[in-house]
């Protein structure tokens, strides 16, 4: 982050990317930048595909170079914010309210730092618990919380003081309650799913009813065994970034959550609030917030995903246009055969006309 890359480092990076020797890369970069400076010194502009355009500008008899980045470059760099759009603020939102939000945002990291560690530990514990498939420990926090709500006299050993601290703050408590509720609901759904599948195999209805009773009493122990899946819901300020930070310790890993849920939500930019996303286990994608390489991989993956989504967008637009053309062509053939079918869309012809005009100028 905010690293200064000197020329020798750049040579190494380019050589690695292009899988050539460093000598070749050095010669190439020296020649390239020599050509660029020469052209700029002569007052000309230089365009490099995928990078941008360097132009010389004269301002009050002082010449300077202006760089305008390529659209591809600026889009790739802004890929993490591509899901946000400019929003018009309504009249009810006052400057004071915005300042309050800013203040809370500024103070939030300070408060969160001590909070985050227990919260993360809790999350980690929960995941571990789920992975260990221990139902008794999963149910224990509920029981303890209920006891805390009713009486604080119960002498529980070590876990109580930590949870009492949590209950004093409203946000973590409500969040945790929701998490536990979600886990329980999921376990119930899983139990129902297994029950229905088993019921197909067994012909006797009587045995099925006993199984239901058993499943209910054993509190979903068997259901949680096969797939310990962690889920999270989009909305209320909970976005892919925050989810990644919460579950993996760094927001750069949001891309893996998007990848995991790509089947259900092909475009991560269009996931609406209320959508429940599956959080993949960290081992699945080799997620490690401490390792720089893992972060790099995540960024590369994000770029890849962004390009895929962008390509899918372009494909959709082109197929829509084609289908529109076909629809237009069909009635023409039925009504009058003489009329020729349009070869290009109106956009394309308009673009061509503009190009011609530019050329003549």
- Residue 55 Cα distances to 29, 31, 36, 228, 235, angstroms: 19, 19, 10, 57, 44
Shortest reach from residue 236's CB to other proteins, in Å? 17
Say how far apart CA 5 and CA 43 lie, in whole Å.
27
Binding mask 66-105 for other proteins (x = CB under 8 A): xx-xx-xxx-xxxxxx--xxxxxx---x----x-------
Length of the chain in terms of residues written: 361
Residues 299-328 that bind other proteins (CB under 8 A): 299-300, 303
Q: Is 32 or 311 the residue whose CB approaches other proteins more closely?
A: 32
Shortest reach from residue 251's CB to other proteins, in Å? 13
Name the token pair of 183: 């886990």
Closest to 285 measured CA to CA, from 318, 311, 248: 248
Interface segment toward other proteins; rule CB under 8 A; list 48-56, 184-192, 223-231, 346-354? 48-56
Q: Is 2 or 200 the residue whose CB approaches other proteins more closely?
A: 2
Q: Which residues lie closer than 8 Å to 359 by C-beta, 6 or more apart?
A: none
Shortest reach from residue 107's CB to other proteins, in Å? 16
Phi, psi for residue 85 in degrees, rounded to 5: -130, 160
Among residues 21, 22, 23, 35, the one that binds other proteins under rule CB under 8 A: 35
Strand 62-69, strand 230-233: pairing: unpaired
Q: Is 18 or 181 the residue whose CB approaches other proteins more closely?
A: 18
Concatenating the DSSP letter of every residue in 49-84 gives TTTEEEEEEEETTEEEEEEEE-HHHHHHHTGGGTT-
Concatenating the DSSP letter of every residue in 136-161 gives HHHHHHHHHHHHHHH-S-----SHHH
Among residues 22, 27, 161, 193, the one that binds other proteins under rule CB under 8 A: 27
Among residues 26, 39, 134, 321, the one that binds other proteins under rule CB under 8 A: 39
How many residues of this chain bind other proteins (CB under 8 A)?
A: 69
Interface segment toward other proteins; rule CB under 8 A; list 15-23, 140-148, 274-282, 331-339? 15-23
Place of tokens 């260990």: 132
Interface segment toward other proteins; rule CB under 8 A; list 126-134, 189-197, 270-278, 298-306? 298-306
Shortest reach from residue 86's CB to other proteins, in Å? 5
Among residues 26, 28, 134, 329, the one that binds other proteins under rule CB under 8 A: 28
Among residues 59, 60, 64, 92, the one that binds other proteins under rule CB under 8 A: 64
Interface segment toward other proteins; rule CB under 8 A; list 61-69, 210-218, 241-249, 314-322? 61-69
Sign of the dihedral through C-alpha 193, 197, 200, 201: negative
Closest to 239 measured CA to CA, from 274, 264, 267, 266: 274
Closest to 311 measured CA to CA, from 47, 72, 61: 72
The answer to whether 47 contacts other proteins (rule: CB under 8 A) is: yes
Q: Is 92 or 153 the residue whose CB approaches other proteins more closely?
A: 92
Could you tell me where the DSSP H helices lie in 133-266?
135-150, 159-168, 170-201, 205-217, 221-224, 240-248, 254-260
Interface segment toward other proteins; rule CB under 8 A; list 25-33, 111-119, 168-176, 208-216? 25-33
Say how far apart CA 68 and CA 51 lie, in whole Å.
9
Binding site for other proteins (CB under 8 A): 1-7, 10, 13-14, 17-18, 20, 24-25, 27-29, 31-33, 35-37, 39-52, 54, 56, 62-67, 69-70, 72-74, 76-81, 84-89, 93, 98, 296, 299-300, 303
């Amino acid at each position: 982050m905010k690293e200064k890359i000197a020329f020798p480092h750049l040579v190494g990076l380019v050589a690695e990317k292009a899988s050539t020797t460093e000598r070749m890369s050095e010669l190439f970069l020296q020649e390239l930048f020599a050509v660029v400076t020469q052209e700029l010194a002569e007052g000309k502009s230089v365009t490099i595909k995928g990078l941008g355009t360097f132009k010389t500008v004269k301002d009050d008899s002082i010449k300077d170079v202006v760089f305008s980045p390529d659209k591809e470059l600026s889009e790739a760099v802004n890929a993490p914010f591509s899901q946000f759009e400019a929003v018009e603020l309504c009249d009810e939102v006052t400057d004071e309210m915005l300042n309050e939000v800013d203040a809370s945002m500024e103070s939030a990291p300070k408060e969160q730092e001590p909070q985050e560690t227990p919260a993360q530990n809790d999350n980690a514990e929960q995941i571990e618990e789920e992975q260990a498939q221990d139902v008794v420990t999963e149910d224990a926090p509920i029981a303890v919380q209920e006891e805390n709500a009713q009486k604080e006299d119960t002498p529980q050993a070590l876990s109580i003081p930590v949870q009492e601290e949590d209950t004093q703050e409203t946000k973590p408590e409500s969040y945790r309650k929701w998490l536990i509720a979600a886990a329980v609901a999921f376990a119930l759904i899983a139990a129902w799913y297994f029950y229905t599948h088993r019921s197909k195999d067994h012909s006797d209805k009587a045995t099925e009813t006993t199984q239901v009773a058993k499943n209910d009493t054993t509190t979903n122990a068997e259901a949680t065994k096969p797939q310990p899946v962690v889920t999270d819901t989009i909305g209320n300020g909970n976005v892919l970034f925050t989810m990644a930070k919460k579950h993996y310790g760094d927001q750069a890993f949001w891309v893996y959550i998007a990848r995991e849920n790509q089947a259900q939500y092909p475009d991560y930019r269009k996931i609406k609030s209320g959508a429940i996303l599956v959080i993949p286990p960290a081992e699945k994608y080799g997620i490690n917030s401490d390792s720089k390489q893992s972060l790099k991989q995540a960024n590369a993956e994000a770029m890849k995903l962004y390009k895929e989504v962008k390509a899918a967008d372009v494909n959709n637009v082109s197929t829509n246009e084609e289908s529109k053309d076909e629809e237009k062509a069909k009635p023409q053939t039925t009504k009058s055969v003489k009329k020729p079918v349009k070869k290009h869309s109106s956009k394309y012809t308009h673009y061509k006309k503009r190009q011609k005009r530019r050329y003549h100028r």
